[in-house]
Amino acid sequence: MAKEKRTSDKRMKDIGMERHERRRQPSPDWASGLRRLYDSVVEEPLPDAFSKLLDDLDRADD
């Protein structure tokens, strides 16, 4: 029980340290552009070829 708590505390400390480090490194002005580049592709309509590929694979397994 105590060991689990120590592990959990350490994990929380690691997460806290990471957040602190991220805060210490200010995001450059272009950083939001990088996320927008990524998100713009995520939000694109998905070509049918992908779902067709998975359906074909699924059928081939049956």
Partner 1 sequence: MLFRSFWTISTERMTEMRSAADAASFKRELTGVIPHLRAFARGLCGRPDLADDLVQETLLKAWAAQERFEPGTSMRAWTFVILRNAYLTDMRRNRFRADYDETVAERILVAPPGQEGPMHLSDLHRALLTLPPERREALLLVGAGGFSYEEAADICECAVGTIKSRVGRARATLSAMIEEGTIPRRAVGDAVAHDAIMAELNESTSAS
Name the residues that contact partner 1, by CB under 8 A.
18, 21, 25, 28-44, 46-47, 49-51, 53-54, 57-58, 61
Distance CA 45, CA 4 (A): 45
Q: Which residue lies nearer to partner 1 by CB, 1 or 24?
A: 24
The minimum distance between CB 17 and partner 1, in angstroms, equals: 10
Distance CA 60, CA 62 (A): 6
The minimum distance between CB 30 and partner 1, in angstroms, equals: 6
